[in-house]
Structure 1
Amino acid sequence: MSTFHLKVLTTERQFYDGDVDRIVVRTTQGDVGILPNHVPYTAALGIGGLTVIANGSERIAAVSGGFVDVSKDGTVVLARTCEWADEIDINRAREAAERARAKLQQKESEHEQNVAQVKLKKAINRMRIAEEK
């Protein structure tokens, strides 16, 4: 089976670097599957999952923000945050969701409401991905 090179980078670390069969990543426009020999493609990442299939084995990570860039040389995911499902501290994610919900109840400025909504989406995504493992 044909493969392609995937590199996933965050501001903190090189998250993944290796050959894969395919990936599925959440962009701001929805989920996109990338296979070997995919046409050149660049998109902004949303809050969602990154599924990496390599050697027939699948791993899922929680991703939020960044970009995916597909070229003939391989695929690069530059993510604001990315963590494997088995690395997620589910209790910490639940606490973050509760803090965000409490902030939303305070009905502060529009900016504060937007920040709280994004934090809530990230926390819910982390909990969902952790439960899928």
Structure 2
Amino acid sequence: MKKIMYGLSLAMAIVLAACSQPAKPTKRSSEPSSSAAQTVSSTSAEKEQVQSIDGSYRGQDAESTILLVVTGQKGTYTVTDSDGEEETKEVAIDPVNQSMRIGDELYRYRVEGDQLSLEDLEQAEDDQGTIVLTRQ
């Protein structure tokens, strides 16, 4: 009988000791998990890989010369006709989506070496719609 009482007393002491321990704060509420930290790191790395296209680009088609000057997320797009008449449009650049608004027209751009290709996103299916410019 003493052994049973001793065993019950010991078990009761263990239960009471366990219940009286202060609760430890959980790690998930105060610190990001390693997978969340990796997600943040990869997102930051993607943003750092956005390529700057600052500079001057020139191109020519059968009827006109094109000059694109980019600084940051803005620029100018100037078309000079063969008779010397110029038309200049403002340019707004979205480097994350690699898109560019020239005046009212939306283009997707791609950089390959010194060449900048502009694909007209609002073109008709039978229209070529790609402009290729070379960095100056």
TM-score (norm 1): 0.23
TM-score (norm 2): 0.23
Structure of greater Rg = 2
Considering Cα pairs closer than 8 Å and 6+ residues apart, tell me whether 1 or 2 has the greater RCO. Answer: 1
